[in-house]
Each structure stands twice: as C-alpha cells, then as structure tokens.
Structure 1
Amino acid sequence: MKSLIRKVKKVLNAINLQNMKSVLRYIKNNGFKGLGTTIINKIRFGKVVLDEYATWIANNEPNTSELENEKKYESCQNLKFDIICPNDEKLIKSIENQTYKKYNVYKFEKERILNSKSDYLIFLGNNIELAQFALYEIVKSIEYRDSILIYSDNDKLIDEKRTEPHFKPGFARDTILSQNYIGQFIAVKTDFIKIHQDILNNLNKNIIYDILLQISEKTRKIEHIQKILYHETIENRKIDVEDEKQIIAKHLKRMNLEYDNIKDGRFEGQYKINYKIKGNPLVSLVVPNMDHIQDLSKLLKSLEKSTYSNYEVIIVENNSKNKETFEYYEKISKQDNRIKVCKFDINYFNYSAIVNYGVECSNGEYIVMLNNDIEFITEDWIEQLLMYAQRPDVGICGAKLYFPDRSIQHAGVTLGTRGLAGHRCREVQEKDFKKDDYINIVQDLSAVTAACFMVRKQLYIDMLGFDEKLAVAFNDVDFCMKIRTAKYLIVYNPFVEAYHYESKSRGEDTENTEKQKRFAKEYELFVKRWSKVIAKGDPYYNKNYRLDTDLPKINYNKISY
C-alpha cells in the first residue's frame, strides 16, 4: 500500500504548471479517459504519464495566440498559391481554415496550371486534411530559400485523434524509388512547371509521385519541412502498386538506368529494383584476420553459396600466433585458387593500414571490405552490392547485418547519435520491423559499416583509402563522409543479409587503458574533422527523432527548426 501511495505522489508531482500545457493538449486529443489510462499505466508499470506524440504536438505546434499572429503575417514576396486538389469536403474546409489566405483552389487542369499567375502550385492527394498553419510554413520556407519542390511530414487523423507521425528523411533518390515516402502533399514552383511543361503530359493516376520523380530528374532544389503539415484521414491507404511501379519504370527509362525487374518489397508500397549487372568484373574481398580460424572458416563456408563466382579473397594476415592458423591458410589456398593470403608485418593492430594493404594486394575492379566474423545468408549478395556500386553516382553500397539472434546489428549509420554516429535500429528484432523504420528498403544514407561494403577500387584509391590515423574507431564512417563530400551516394541494401559476430577478433575498445587512450585520440580527430557536418544534422534522419538512442523515437522536447 505504501508503495502505491509513493507512486501516486510521484505521478501527481509530475503534473505541474510546467507541463500543464501538454496535459491539456493530451486531454483534447485523447480525452479524460485516455489521460486516466495513462496515469494508471504509470502507477502500475512505470510507463510515461503523457503520450510522447501529444507532448511533441504541445511543444512544437503553434497555440491559439500564435495562429492568430500568423493570420496577420504579410509575405515580403506577396506569395500566392494555386492549390490543385480533389473536391473533398473536409480537405476544402481545412484549406479555408488556413492562417495564410492568398490562394486559389481547383481540380487538376493542365491548361489552367500552365496559365497560373501563382508563385507555387500545391498538389494535394485524397483523404487528407491540411494543418491550419501549412501554407504559412510553406511561405516561411520559400522566403528563407529558393526551392523548386517542397514536402513535409504528416500524421494520421482518425476519429479526431492524431496518431502515427511520419517523420520523413530528406530527399533521397534510392529511398523514394523504394517507397513513396513523400506522400500526398507537395508544393512546386510554378515557373519551373511552365518551363518544363512536359512534366504534365501522360501522368499516371498517382500524379504527385509522377510529378515529383520527374522534377527530381531536373533539380536538386528539393526542400523538406520537418513539421506535420497534413493529416491522413484514412487508417489504411490503398496503394495502387502497379501504378507506382509504372511510374518508377518511366523514371528509370528517362534516367537511362537499365534494370531487369521491379519486385514487391516486404510491405505494400515498397519496391526493390534489380539493376542490370554490366559485364563480369572481378570482385576482391579484403578480409583482415588474426588467428580466429573458426570465424574465418564460417565466412569462407558461406561464400561457397555465392551465385557470383568471379571473385578473389584477399586474407590480410596480421600478427597471428597459432601454428594452426598458418596450416589453415596453406590448406584453403590449395583448395581454392581464388584465396590469397597476404602477410602484413606490423606489431600492432591498425585496421585502416591493414585494409589499405589488402587493397594494394587485390586485382579486382571492385573491393568488398569484409570482417572475418561475417557469415552470409544471401546467396546473390555480390550481385546485390554490385548493381549499385556500378552506378556512377554511387560511391559505396552496404548491407543489413544481424546478431546471431536475428536482431539488427547494422541497418545503416546515423550521424549525430550520441554526439557522433550510431547504427540505426540496433538490436530491433526482425519480427518488430515496421514500414516507417525503413529497415527493409534500399535507401541512401550518410554512412554504412565497413564490416561489409563494396566500393570501386579506383574510387577507393582516389579517396586515398582509409585514414591510418584512425586505427580502429570511426575509420569507416570517416571514409563514407569523404565519399559523400565528393558528391557520391552511400547506399544501404537490406537485400544483402549476413550475420555479424562483431569485434571478436580484437576485443572491445574500452577493455584496457591502452585501448581507451587510442580511442580518445581517434575520437578527438574525428570530431575535429567532422563536427560542423554533424552539427548540421543527418540529412537522412529527421530532427524530430532523438539522438540519444539508435531507435527512431520521438524527441518530444521543443525542437529548433
């Protein structure tokens, strides 16, 4: 009984003047019953008092007074909009309720669009409502920067309750071809459409997806407003998969990207493009190794299942002590002439120096960085990496890696996590994957792990390889950052799956004083080199997510936009 009283007091103390605004907004969205249930859950199970999203809304969206001030705002550019949308009663009402009033509304008519006197055209889809401040936010964005296309985040509004916020990444070419995450609301510069009138010809049913892909072929000026500017008003939107595949196919043809097929992804509305492999290039797998022949044997055994045969394995031997290791090297070299052992003579561990030497020993046109504690699940993994690495706009292609229990070890890297960088969705179980986690789609990211990634050898050389001052930590992220700075894409391909037993060969970075000192030195160098880039935020990770965790959890505090 005393324990229960203490918990009740703790909950009551949490509801003070400081967060009363959040409480009132929560009651508005969820009712007194919802608040009561939440308080009971806190008392019984120790869970949060307030719904995180309701708290985010209270902290980051304009209140009544702020909305009134928006109505008085005069655009310095006197911006005008034409809104092209279906004749939906709730949508029209949400447009009429906008705080910014300089707009016209009509259905899609090509001639009217081409004769428009507006500054921007806003295309809206079915079954949505606009946030009251949507046009105001578009105006502020345009006044801040000259964008050709603008899109925003959204949530769902079901039975007057707001749920399921979709905090989206910045524009990413491979991501948008894997899933139409941009959705049902875009603003496009009118003059751009007038110059490129062909964009409006022979549009598919999903005109927004069709238009935005065509615009993305002609400009990089695509702006993402990281605020909820519209609400989906339908629980489960029916996606015309064949229509979206046709739109993707037209885009690939215009971009002269040859492909074999467009397959369905894990969830409805997700797609996998299988690009054509050009030729039969030699691929060099660079594998550092020090003893641990059991791990190495498991890796080599999994390679036997590979459907691509034109590869070589460069085992970079460094500081092995066991006689059995060298006997094993001799045995596997005789069994498969594609396996080559190169001895690297240093008396300390420097991963960057080791892999750089491995690349020097290689003969392939493409390099795969590969840890010795990897075990492949996917049989066509080389083809899956190669089809992206062969594209001239791609610098690196990485893989999805699992812990032995099939939870995520690596699904790409987010910049800024815990101040530096972290693996996305680390330790999420396979059964818990959700569509908006993006774990299961090919996407462009800021970095991927060198435990398994492919890069063109010439590009690796041009970038001067891995920085040997970063002996162990941050070297792969540093290399990816150099690649991105050179304007190449980093692609994460979840259709390459493997187990990663992670750092068994050398131990953890903090297990002794010497390693701690080395880690601190490398940390300082990495921060000095990339702190300004990290401070700007990861372009592929929404700022409404927290950075103190590897999971996409809502940052319900006040966000600085």
Structure 2
Amino acid sequence: MGGWIVLRYTLPARARPQRPLLRLRRRNGRIDRFVLPGVVLGCAFWLGYLPADCEGIEIAGGPGFTLERVGARTSKHVFAECLAKGPLRAAGALRALLRRDERRWRDSLRGACAVTPLSAYAGWRDARGTPPPPETPAPDIRIRLVLAAEGATAGAMADTLAALTAQSHANWTLQLSGAEAGFAPDPRIRATAWNPDATTLALCGDADLFGILHPGDRLAPHALALLAAAYREEKPELVYADDEIGDAYPVPRLKPDWSPDLARVTGFVGAPALVARDFLAGLPPRPVSAPDNFATGLDLDLSDATRVVHLPRILCRRAIRPEDTARRAALLEQLSAVSDLVRPVLHKNILDLHRPRPDPAPPVSVIIPSRNRPDLIARVTTDVLTRTDYPAIELVIVDNGSADPKVLRFYEGLRADPRVRIEPFPHPFNFAAMVNRGAEVARGKILVLLNNDVAVLRTDWLDAMVAEAVRPEVGAVGAKLLYRDGCLQHAGVVVGLGGEAGHILRRRPADTPGHLGRLRVSHEVSAVTAACLAVSSEKYRAVGGFDAATFAVDFNDVDFCLRLGAAGWKTVWTPHAVLSHLESVSRGRPTGAARQLFEREAAAFAERWRDTIRHDPFHHPALSLTTFGEDLE
C-alpha cells in the first residue's frame, strides 16, 4: 500500500509567495502533482502519501528552498491519528480504500492529519518557529512610528516598547503621545502630546516609511527589517504583513494580497503596516484627529494605493483591546443592516457596502444554456422574468437540442414575450461554446451567465451584480449561491483548491462570516462560477469569451476570470446577490468518457495557470488547499 512521508522545509523570508510544487513519478509514467503549504513562520510541513509504484520525488521550491527533514510514517499510524482526530473522516477513508479510490483515501487521511483548524493555531504556530531575518537587510531605510499611550496600561506599553527596542532593524524613531517624558527608555523614542492638527505627512517627518502601533502590539524581532527590505526592493506605497490577536488563545489574521475593495470596508491591513512618505505626500493635507483613526483607515484611505507589497509572514502579536471589540461589534451591526436597508454609508471615506443600481439601468442579457429538463428551465425563466426587479432584461436561452415535448411547448409560449430569444445550438454538448453563442446574439451591455438549475432568492440580485459589473476596473462578478438546504455553495473560487480550483467554504452555513469577515462584504477573488456570472459585453469580447476549444465543460469560467485578470480587470464576489444553485443537477457527475474529458481539461488548466495554482493572491499560503474550509496546513 505504499507509505507516508513528512517533509519539513524552509524558504527565505523575502521569497516569492509561491507554494512549493511536488511531483511523484510513478512506474506507469503517470505523474501526481501536489501544491505544498507556504512558509509563513520559520518552516512548513507537508504530509504526503507515496503509492507503492512511486519511483521518484521532485520538488520545485524556488530559490533558497531548503528541505530540512524527511520523516517516514506508516499507513497504520496515519490512520490511527485520523481515527482519533476525526472518526467520520476515518470511515470515509476506509470506504475509499475498499473502492480502490486512492486519491480519496489519501485526501481523507490528509484532511484529518495534515490540516489544523484556526482554533488550534497556537500549537500550529509553536511547531513552526519565527520568521528569519531578511537575506539583504536595508539598514538605511528610516521608519517613523506613532504610539498613543492614552488609557494604556503600563504592562501593555512595556510589552510594545520592549519588542520595538529589540528590533534587528535599528533605524527607527517613535513618537509616543500621552506618556511622561521619563517613560521613554530609548533615545529614539520621543514623548510628546498628541497634536490633533498634524497631518500624516507631518507625523512621518523625513522618514521613508510611516506606521502606527497600539499599546500591547509586539513586533516579531525581524518585523521592521523585513518590511524595510521589502520597501528597498520594490518601492511600494504600502507594505504590510500578517498578525495574530490575543495571548492565551491567539487567533491569526491571515491577510490576502492587496485587495482594495476589502480594505475599504474592513480595514483588514491592520498591523504591521508601513506607508511610504511619497504616498502620504500625494494625499490631501487633512489633519489626523486621533492616532486610532489612522490604524482603522478613518483618516487615511489606503485603498487608493496601487503599488502594494504583502509579506505573508506573521510579524506582530496584538493585544485584544476593549475598543477593538466595541468597534467590531458596531461594524457587524452595521453590516447586518445592509441586507435590510438599501444603502447605509458607514463613513465618508469607506466604500458604500451595497452599490446602487446605475441610473439609467444598462440593458442586461441573461444567457441560459439548457437542454430538456422542463422543471428547471420553467423555474429559472419565470424567476428571471417575474421575480427580478430590473427594468431592462433580455433573456437568451441557448438550447442544445431539446426534444422533450413539454420543453418545446414551453418555448412556444415564451416566444410571445419580446424579451425572450431562443437560440438553437445543434451541436455536441460544449458548455463554453453555448455561452459564446449566447454572447454573440445578445444585445445587452451587461451579460449575465446563468445556469438552468438556479433559482432566484432575492429580487434585487441583478441590481447588485450590475452595480459591480459597470465599474471600469471590474471584469467578472459572482453571486452568493446556496444549496437547496441553505448551505453555501459558492462564495468565490480559490485557484489550487482541491488540485485545480474549488469553491471556498462550501457546505458551511449561509451566514458564515469568513476569515476577516470578508463574506459579509463584496471583495476581490481570483475567479467565480459561471452558474451566475456578470460581465460587460465589451470586456467579454475583449478577452475572446470562453475558451471552448480547451475547456468545453469544466474550468472555462475560472480560466475566463483569470484571463480577465491578466488583461487588467479584477473579479469581484458579492454577498448581495443571493440565489439557489442545485449544482450540476442537469448534468450529473462525470463518468467514463466524461471523466476522461474532465481529467484532460484539468491537466490543461494546471499547465496554463500553474503559477496561480501555486499562489492564489486572495488565499493565504498558510491556508489548506486540501479542505474547502479555512484551515491551516
């Protein structure tokens, strides 16, 4: 049955955020590929299964990759650990083994033994150590920090200052407000009163980078050195890293790469973060009323930054402050009100959470590929035409040779509606080609791709999608899709999840907030499903639509979104468009020749988008690609 190995490896602190790629060469010429966890602390681990016919192991780790240890484990030992951690997973693994389903057997055991829930972060962190210093430090980069001591305990201040004075990067100064001059233990620390008329540029002074600390924040020993080195190498307007909150039960904040939409509404950047003086110089000279306002983004809209570097390294431990708890509760209360109110505005500098429908509303063409299934096509067309509050809809049904008399009679009735067009597609099933055919004949400025097994749950769903799709910087827009039982089916696609691409947090409760609360707001993702996807017709045609030759059935939507991204248009998922999706009920699971086609398309997708599979910018490299939750690996 083969055996298991555990790899321990490291990468330089400033390495590209690509996960290592491992290949197993097998006797029959087959190659199995695995994307390993990224290194976000001192080291990373990977648990993998070696089949009995494995002849070689190859690892593409990138410059500086160091394999520190290889350990062997028996299948019996791994199964025993799986049984202890998750009896249901162990039962599923046994069923897969009896069916000779090697991949499911392996993934079931890995999902239990190699994956750690966020709630068990402390032990996961302790096993991986702390991030190393940068290979090329930048001691000449000047950093100015601000720390407000008002209301802080002596212990919290001492912790923050001790961590600061222990930094390996020595070229920093700190403005300490609200503390007595004698409290400053280092000549680089200057105690002053807070000046409410000071601008961020004035606070920065002649330093290259500017940031803020809160009492209780404890920077990792090389935090400033790593941030300064990143600035020296790439000259960004903003550089930030990850952090953790709490002491007894710490919780990591694993941030995506730069996501301006998410930054506007959640202020996810937090600490540690440093802003370039050049960026501050370009902002309107408004005074910062309080130091807290800078950290929360209330007096500095960081979302305007375009050159941003994210270090996926945990470089700060932050204390839980009462005001944080109160602020978070207030934000969540406002967010929950979004579902009932039309357009609540949280702050003059924060993005409106529910964008209004454009006025006048651009014409929309809803394209539905379909074949037979009268129950499905009748429901979805009725929902689009009578349960959607949008004034300018064209419905294009691309029919792939329906022969069911009920469907044909239904079509006859639909033809009396001037909003409906039924476009025949008398060719072998090719989902991508059917979508392209619908786009060719559509007259709308916005195209909405909709599966025939989707049901409308909120009448304003199209308003929410069009409001995002008309933005100049946005390409594709995806919706919040639920299974029949109300659980999440689609909250965005993570490239690399499950091997090629997968839906994050599927089967979770519909009100799941997601890590950093991102499922409560519209935000950037790498891709969305074509089960409900909006895009302007101009941008659709600019990238050539779906690739029907390479991805006839699967991965065509993800490939389309990634090609939009390569052309400069981002993909956005919105929670304000809510629909139900039965997912593939009209096609079923692929078997036989269909399964072979799926595997060919999966291989083509992996070949074309290997770099993105190794690093989805909106899925942190510490998060698992084995499970579909937000777990550590």
TM-score class, shorter-chain normalisation, is 0.7 to 0.9
CA contact (8 A) 1:290 1:320 kept: yes
CA pair 42-550 structure 1, distance change in 2 beyond 3 A = closer
CA distance in 2, matches of 1:320, 1:119: 66
CA distance in 2, matches of 1:374, 1:313: 14
Aligned twin of 1:25: none
Instruction: Extract unaligned runs of 5+ from structure 1.
Output: 1-13, 15-20, 23-39, 246-259, 556-561
Give 1:78-227 correspondences, 5 Å limit. 78-87=140-149, 88=152, 89=157, 90-106=159-175, 107=177, 110=198, 113=202, 116-125=205-214, 127-158=216-247, 161-193=248-280, 195-196=281-282, 198-201=284-287, 206-210=293-297, 214-217=301-304, 219-227=305-313
Aligned twin of 2:455: 375
CA contact (8 A) 2:243 2:271 kept: no
The answer to whether the aligner puts 1:324 opposite 2:384 as a matched pair is no
CA distance in 2, matches of 1:189, 1:54: 33
CA contact (8 A) 2:143 2:209 kept: yes
CA contact (8 A) 1:114 1:197 kept: no
Secondary structure, aligned partner of 2:452: coil
Aligned twin of 2:481: 401
Aligned twin of 2:364: 283
Aligned twin of 1:297: 378
CA contact (8 A) 1:125 1:184 kept: no
CA contact (8 A) 2:454 2:582 kept: yes
CA pair 412-453 structure 1, distance change in 2 beyond 3 A = same
Give 1:10-25 correspondences, 5 Å limit. none
Q: Which moved more, 1:179-188 or 1:128-137?
A: 128-137
Aligned twin of 1:256: none
Give, as a single letter, the amino acid of the residue that structure 1 aligns with 2:613.
I
Aligned twin of 1:11: none
By how many angstroms is 1:208 displaced?
Answer: 2.7
CA contact (8 A) 2:264 2:303 kept: no
The answer to whether the aligner puts 1:516 opposite 2:564 as a matched pair is no
Secondary structure, aligned partner of 1:132: coil
Aligned twin of 1:525: 604
- Picking from 336, 339, 349, the partner of 2:429 is 349
Encode CA deviations 1:360-387: one digit per residue, 9 max, x unaligned.
2211111100000000111111110111
Give, as a single letter, the amino acid of the residue that structure 1 aligns with 2:380.
L
Aligned twin of 1:337: 418
CA distance in 2, matches of 1:301, 1:481: 32
Give, as a single letter, the amino acid of the residue that structure 2 aligns with 1:85.
L
Give, as a single letter, the amino acid of the residue that structure 2 aligns with 1:498.
L
Aligned twin of 2:623: 545
Secondary structure, aligned partner of 2:498: helix
CA distance in 2, matches of 1:414, 1:315: 29
By how many angstroms is 1:455 displaced?
Answer: 0.8
Encode CA deviations 1:306-352: one digit per residue, 9 max, x unaligned.
11131011111112121221011112333x33222111111x10011
By how many angstroms is 1:77 displaced?
Answer: 4.4
- Picking from 103, 113, 130, the partner of 1:62 is 130
Secondary structure, aligned partner of 2:246: strand
By how many angstroms is 1:530 displaced?
Answer: 1.7
CA distance in 2, matches of 1:165, 1:74: 27
Give, as a single letter, the amino acid of the residue that structure 2 aligns with 1:358.
G
Aligned twin of 1:9: none
Aligned twin of 1:473: 554
The answer to whether the aligner puts 1:53 opposite 2:124 as a matched pair is no
By how many angstroms is 1:270 displaced?
Answer: 10
CA contact (8 A) 1:125 1:185 kept: no
CA distance in 2, matches of 1:74, 1:52: 34
CA pair 372-148 structure 1, distance change in 2 beyond 3 A = same
CA contact (8 A) 1:203 1:210 kept: no
| Number of aligned residues | 490
Give, as a single letter, the amino acid of the residue that structure 1 aligns with 2:476.
I
Secondary structure, aligned partner of 1:53: helix
CA contact (8 A) 1:153 1:225 kept: yes
CA pair 538-115 structure 1, distance change in 2 beyond 3 A = closer
Secondary structure, aligned partner of 2:579: strand
CA contact (8 A) 2:354 2:576 kept: no
Aligned twin of 1:249: none
CA distance in 1, matches of 2:474, 2:136: 44
Secondary structure, aligned partner of 1:155: strand
By how many angstroms is 1:508 displaced?
Answer: 1.9
Secondary structure, aligned partner of 2:376: helix
Aligned twin of 1:314: 396
Give, as a single letter, the amino acid of the residue that structure 1 aligns with 2:124.
W
CA contact (8 A) 2:245 2:251 kept: yes
CA pair 203-306 structure 1, distance change in 2 beyond 3 A = farther
CA distance in 1, matches of 2:136, 2:391: 65
Give 1:251-262 correspondences, 5 Å limit. 261-262=343-344
CA contact (8 A) 1:414 1:541 kept: yes
Give, as a single letter, the amino acid of the residue that structure 2 aligns with 1:318.
N
CA distance in 2, matches of 1:225, 1:114: 25
CA distance in 2, matches of 1:290, 1:149: 51
Q: Give the TM-score taking structure 1 as reference length.
A: 0.79
Aligned twin of 1:17: none
- Picking from 298, 315, 320, the partner of 1:229 is 315
CA pair 183-463 structure 1, distance change in 2 beyond 3 A = same
By how many angstroms is 1:212 displaced?
Answer: 8.4
- Picking from 515, 518, 521, the partner of 1:441 is 521
CA distance in 2, matches of 1:489, 1:427: 26
Give, as a single letter, the amino acid of the residue that structure 1 aligns with 2:255.
K
Aligned twin of 2:542: 462
Give, as a single letter, the amino acid of the residue that structure 2 aligns with 1:520.
E
CA pair 121-231 structure 1, distance change in 2 beyond 3 A = same
Encode CA deviations 1:65-87: one digit per residue, 9 max, x unaligned.
x6xxx59x994442332211112
By how many angstroms is 1:287 displaced?
Answer: 0.4
By how many angstroms is 1:171 displaced?
Answer: 1.5
Give, as a single letter, the amino acid of the residue that structure 1 aligns with 2:424.
K
CA distance in 2, matches of 1:395, 1:278: 20
By how many angstroms is 1:92 displaced?
Answer: 2.5
CA contact (8 A) 2:476 2:533 kept: yes
Q: Give the TM-score taking structure 2 as reference length.
A: 0.70
By how many angstroms is 1:416 displaced?
Answer: 1.5
By how many angstroms is 1:457 displaced?
Answer: 1.0
CA contact (8 A) 2:343 2:352 kept: no
The answer to whether the aligner puts 1:358 opposite 2:438 as a matched pair is yes
Secondary structure, aligned partner of 1:491: strand
Q: Which moved more, 1:416-425 or 1:442-451?
A: 416-425
By how many angstroms is 1:203 displaced?
Answer: 5.3
Aligned twin of 1:497: 578
Encode CA deviations 1:170-207: one digit per residue, 9 max, x unaligned.
111211123121124321223443x3363553557512
Secondary structure, aligned partner of 2:355: strand
CA distance in 2, matches of 1:443, 1:450: 17
CA pair 428-127 structure 1, distance change in 2 beyond 3 A = same
CA contact (8 A) 1:155 1:163 kept: yes
